[in-house]
Chain A
């Protein structure tokens, strides 16, 4: 895939109120392809918003380079970058109509009124707000404002669209609907999206690639499946989805299967590839990786959480140690206090080299 945006060794430091220095971006390398949907994911303060603002031009890098289509962006002010942003607060112009908001980029670029009106109507149509051009932002619902912000940002056909937690203010249903719509829109527009969120579910749903960030650094870049199934470290594993982490010592290796045992004596089967006896590793199992059966880790259900489609249960292993989180597909035999056995497929276990 041709690289649209290339960021290398990006560094940005801030002075903290206490007088210390904090690197919001600490040597970030990132390449985004044309028409790619990339999500920057991480806890607050991880540098994802700073990175987004550095791309839009509102933060100046202390170090590093940034190229868009081979053009050096570093010295360009925000209004000269072929990049548009959907702001978290939407930042709609309250004193203008929806139509003028949407047509703003064309207005300041000197596009004639007739052509502008046609493009505004088209953009409003695209986001499902046809005929709403005459209203004021104050008269719209949160979801509608979101769509206006989107239409306004795509009308000038930027090479790259930046979205700064645009869905965080919407309620759950609307958010899920918008997630799918955004994805569809991105495909039909054929422009690259960089989407910032702290919501891992959102990241998994929408992205071609996810960039997991922590403390100004990129922890891992990969497809949603890759990040979910093969996290590079504990941080990524714990940040993406519910996880059970087992620090185990490899007890013995037999054929394709290695047996690992935790300090408390919980026994897990791991893929044997690369394992050696006595080695200390961390085994990662997602809640859905366990099945309730007659064989496996013996334990007792301590709590159950009903989630609608699934039943979420917490199992205390008999051997001791932390509770294991399990999704029980059918609720049978998973009542609180029930004795259960947790079986798992050894091949679905992801192993981290470090214990």
Chain B
């Protein structure tokens, strides 16, 4: 009786979020999955006939009449994955030492720093990216400063290059890497670090054998949280990237809004989805394995 009552209460509590996600997340996802196997309508929308060329265009089979295989899609997918991976690596390098530094600050300064790291969330992403546009453009702050210092004689072409896209993504993703990393570093048992030094391990050995494994959950968490939105990101390349900075997210956007090829856009979306799920699955199984040990 008690158990039954408990499950009723649980059901009532979980119903709103389940309904919300079911209606606004799962249902649209299923529609996209379905669309990706339909043929495109002439002026947008879909024709209700089974059609696998959407995937063929991307992965290498095509009828050669309506749909042509273009390696550019795989290239863009590859670029998206490598940009996202690069973003993960760079944010990690930036945040890891800072996390140690912050965890050693006094309570008051730690709060100040946590406020600063979350400060960007208080303003619009687009506005902040346009600020980067002003900084990076040939007559912008960065180039003007370098020119006036005599470091360079001509403005550097950074804007509308892959560099600008990665730079922008690193900027956007830093807080997402920092927070899980900080929590892991803050939970690091200082006594274990001392024990390692005491037992004769030098600083490098201590880092590799104790500090790194102990903070690995934070690194993995941060990496997943940064990688997933980075792969599908379209705002940053839209504002800062040119043709060479185009990512799969932009491709999806173009297919839905400009080319009006909804099924092809859906197929591209499903590929992003597959990548994300794979990454999540790997990280969850790894975390479970690590958790089983502890």
Q: Which residues of A contact B (CB under 8 A)?
A: 56-58, 77-80, 83-85, 87-89, 91-95, 104-105, 107-109, 136, 138, 152-153, 156
Within the complex, the shortest CB–CB distance from B92 to chain A, in Å, comes to 19
Q: Is the CB of B294 within 8 A of A104?
A: no
The reply to whether A58 and B213 contact each other, CB–CB distance below 8 Å, is no
In angstroms, how far is the closest chain A Cβ from the Cβ of B147?
47
Contact indicator B191/A91 (Cβ below 8 Å)? yes
In the complex, chain B residues 192-220 whose Cβ is within 8 Å of any chain A Cβ: 192, 194-203, 205-206, 209-210, 213-214
Name the contact of A156 in the complex, choosing from B199, B206, B293, B294 (C-beta under 8 A).
Answer: B199
Residues of B within 8 A of A (CB): 189, 191-192, 194-203, 205-206, 209-210, 213-214, 290, 293-294
Are the C-beta atoms of A104 and B196 separated by less than 8 Å?
A: yes
Collect the chain B residues with CB atoms within 8 Å of residue A108's CB: 196, 199-202, 205, 209
The reply to whether B210 and A105 form a contact with Cβ atoms under 8 Å apart is no
- Nearest Cβ on chain A to B234's Cβ, whole angstroms: 39
Chain B residues in 8 Å Cβ range of A93: 192, 195-196, 209-210
Q: For B193, give the chain A residue with the smallest CB separation.
A: A91
B293/A79 in contact, CB under 8 A: no
Interface centre among A77, A79, A80, A92 (most CB of B within 10 A): A79
Q: Could you tell me the dominant secondary structure of chain B's interface residues?
A: helix
CA A80 – CA B201 in complex, angstroms? 9
Which residue of chain B is the closest to A149 with respect to CB atoms?
B195
Given contacts A95-B213, A95-B214, A136-B294, whether A104 and B191 have CB atoms under 8 Å apart is no
Closest to B106 in A: A17
Q: Are A105 and B194 in contact (CB under 8 A)?
A: no
User: Is B200 a contact partner of A58 (Cβ separation < 8 A)?
Assistant: no
> Within the complex, what minimum Cβ distance (angstroms) separates A78 from chain B?
4
| Chain B residues whose CB sits within 8 angstroms of the CB of A88 once the complex forms | 191
Measured CB to CB, the closest approach of chain A to B237, in angstroms, equals 39
Q: Which residue of A lies closest to B212 (CB)?
A: A95
Chain A residues in 8 Å Cβ range of B294? 94-95, 136, 138
Please state if B198 and A84 are interface contacts (CB–CB under 8 Å): yes
Chain A contacts of B205 at CB under 8 A? 108
Whole-angstrom distance between the Cβ of B174 and the nearest chain A Cβ: 27
With a CB–CB cut-off of 8 A, which chain A residues contact B209?
93, 104, 107-108
Flag if B197 contacts A79 (CB, 8 Å): yes
Q: Is the CB of B199 within 8 A of A84?
A: yes
**Complexed CA–CA distance, A136 and B197 (Å):** 21
Q: List 15 A-B contacts (CB under 8 A).
A: A58-B198, A79-B200, A79-B202, A79-B203, A87-B195, A88-B191, A94-B189, A94-B192, A104-B196, A104-B199, A104-B201, A108-B200, A108-B202, A108-B205, A152-B199
- Residues on B with beta carbons closer than 8 Å to the beta carbon of A109: 200
Query: Nearest CB to that of B205 among chain A residues?
Result: A108
* Contact between B199 and A105, CB atoms less than 8 A apart: yes
Q: What's the minimum C-beta distance from A79 to chain B, rounded to whole angstroms?
A: 5
Please, which residues of chain A bring their CB within 8 A of the CB of B198?
A: 56-58, 78-79, 83-85, 153
Provide the bound-state CA to CA distance between A92 and B213, in Å: 14
Contact B200 A156 (CB under 8 A): yes
Tell me, rounded to whole Å, the shortest Cβ–Cβ distance linking A75 to chain B. Answer: 15
Q: Which of chain B's residues have a CB closer than 8 A to the CB of A85?
A: 194-195, 198
**B213: A residues at CB distance < 8 A:** 95
Given contacts A80-B200, A91-B192, A108-B200, 8 further A-B contacts (CB under 8 A): A56-B198, A57-B197, A85-B194, A93-B196, A94-B214, A95-B294, A104-B209, A153-B199
CB-nearest residue of chain A relative to B290?
A95
The complex places the Cα of A156 from the Cα of B201 at a distance, in Å, of: 12
